[in-house]
Amino acid sequence: MARPRTFEEEQAVEAAMRAFWAAGYEATSTQDLCAATGLGRSSVYNAFESKRELFAKALRRYMEQMDAQLSELLESELPIREKVRLLLWDAVDHPDPAGCMVVNTLVELGPRDPEMAEPARRHQQERVARLRDAFAAARAEGELAPDRDPAALAAFLMATIGGMRVAARGGSDRASLEAIATTALQVF
């Protein structure tokens, strides 16, 4: 008879997410995961089968959290420029030293493990599409000039925010991040 689990799986995935987010997939050892989750090695493997599966769950959790934040913002009644400002300033006000887990995954695993990087790539494409739709709606409502390309604006904004997250991870100070955000906001 199998022993019942004595831990909360969601808390373990959250803790593993933070460990992978900080160090990346390859640099996070099983011992690191045990320390982060408080689980023993056998519990980690019994619950999640493999480090790879646990990473996939952790990445999915991170992406769900980011999607919830973006949905809340895009569904608000704020003008599009204010939505963009809030997205940019989130990267200024919350410059996580770990950067963005999605961007980190694409940089680390994209060239060597496309299968592992595919969910992150798809997530980025979906976020760009959601922003594109928001910019198209704003253009139709006259908030953006008719000559503004919603797809280009969405790709630009995602690239800028991703770059800001990388810059923060690389040690850029607040003044540098503010300058990037201010310059980017002028596009809108």
Please say if the pLDDT value at position 46 is more than 80: yes
Please say if the pLDDT value at position 3 is more than 50: no
pLDDT, position 7 = 57
Q: What is the mean pLDDT of residues 22-33?
A: 95
Tens-place pLDDT, residues 56-88: 999 999 999 999 999 999 999 999 999 999 999
Question: Where do the H-state alpha helices sit in the chain?
Answer: 9-23, 30-37, 41-48, 51-74, 80-93, 101-109, 114-140, 150-169, 174-185
Interatomic CA distance for residues 31 and 54, integer angstroms: 13
Tens-place pLDDT, residues 137-162: 999 999 999 999 999 999 999 999 99
Please say if the pLDDT value at position 44 is more than 50: yes
- Of 105, 88, 80, nearest in space to 157 by CA: 88
- 47 pLDDT band (50/70/90 cuts)? confident
Higher pLDDT, 159 or 3: 159
Q: Can you give the length of the chain in residues? A: 188
* Global pTM exceeds 0.85: yes
Higher pLDDT, 39 or 85: 85
Helix, coil or strand: residue 96 = coil
pLDDT, position 98 = 83
Please say if the pLDDT value at position 19 is more than 50: yes
Domains and CATH numbers, the chain: 7-58 (1.10.10.60), 76-185 (1.10.357)
Lowest-pLDDT range of 3-7, 51-55, 93-97:
3-7
Average pLDDT, the chain: 93
